[in-house]
Amino acid sequence: MKLEVDRVTKRYGATTALDGLSLSLTSARVLVLIGPSGGGKSTLLRLLGGLETADAGTVQVNEHRLVANAAELQNYRRQNGFLFQQFNLFPHLSARRNITLPLEKVHGHPPAKAHELAEQALDRFGLLKHADKLPSQLSGGQQQRVGIARAVAFSPEILFLDEPTSALDPEMTAEVLELIQELAEAGQDIILSTHEMGFARAVADQVAFIAAGKIEECRPPAGLFDSPESAVCQRFLSKVMRY
Ligand SMILES: Nc1ncnc2c1ncn2[C@@H]1O[C@H](COP(=O)(O)OP(=O)(O)OP(=O)(O)O)[C@@H](O)[C@H]1O
């Protein structure tokens, strides 16, 4: 994917979440956003996904210039897959129906096609045996995997994952991270925010460190984590590792 973010500012009331942030990447496959809490990771991810618009500056993702046009943004959002920290499955619907419903209502697939795509996604992620269960009958990790299956069932242009494991215990975190790694290896473009440093290092081809609404540094993980000249490596890593 190609990203061109130029001097973007985003405010919420008196809080400046992004403060003239710029980022330019010409061929990222997996971009991981890391940094201290409140630094602006989620806000940037939401802007890149078309869920928010900037107060100032410009955002371009691949050929999409994300301007404050509701119809265009909705169209853009539909091409992307999203998963957030909190499980956001419909509690009264089975795992399978959680996947088929948006395929029908958002993407306009007829029920038979939606069913076929859902079965493929459930099968791909080892979830067929859970297809008829309600979210409350699944573990947190399984729920996140259903959420990911839903987000990729229609082959999204970009998969946006906002701290997908932060509500999970370590064992469940591992099973979700493994699945994300599989998707990355299969060629899915991904933008992900996380506090999982080991995972960022393993899965990212670019890691952007965001603090106080700005990109401090954006590099391939080896450069960011290992290189002595990396300011992030020196100044912030020990702080972030605590999360
Ligand atoms: N909807 C909102 N309303 C008000 N303030 C917001 C909103 N969203 C974000 N903020 C504020 O903007 C700043 C950046 O928040 P953001 O969620 O982007 O940071 P983050 O790096 O993702 O943090 P965390 O790691 O804790 O999720 C914070 O000060 C936050 O309180």
Quote the ipTM score: 0.96
Q: Is 39 in the pocket of ligand 1 (CB under 6 A)?
A: yes
What is the CA angle 124-128-133, rounded to 5? 135
Q: Are 3 and 25 in contact (CB under 8 A)?
A: yes
**pLDDT score, position 243:** 45
What's the gap in Å between 193 CA and the centre of ligand 1? 12
Owning domain of residue 207: 3-241
- Tokens matching residue 235: 């100044």
Q: Is 27 in the pocket of ligand 1 (CB under 6 A)?
A: no
Give the largest CA-CA distance in the chain. 55
Nearest CA among 124, 125, 133, 145 for reference residue 96: 133
Which residue's entry shows tokens 């806000």?
A: 43
For the chain, which ranges sit under pLDDT 70?
Answer: 228, 231-243
**pTM of the predicted model as reported, rounded to 2 decimal places:** 0.92
CA pair distance 19, 135, nearest whole angstrom: 38
**pLDDT score, position 237:** 59
- The CATH number assigned to the domain holding 28 equals 3.40.50.300
Domain count, the chain: 1
Taking the CA of residue 33 as reference, the ligand 1 atom at the shortest distance is 21
Q: Is 40 in the pocket of ligand 1 (CB under 6 A)?
A: yes
**pLDDT score, position 170:** 85
Q: Ligand 1, atom 2: nearest CA belongs to which residue? A: 12
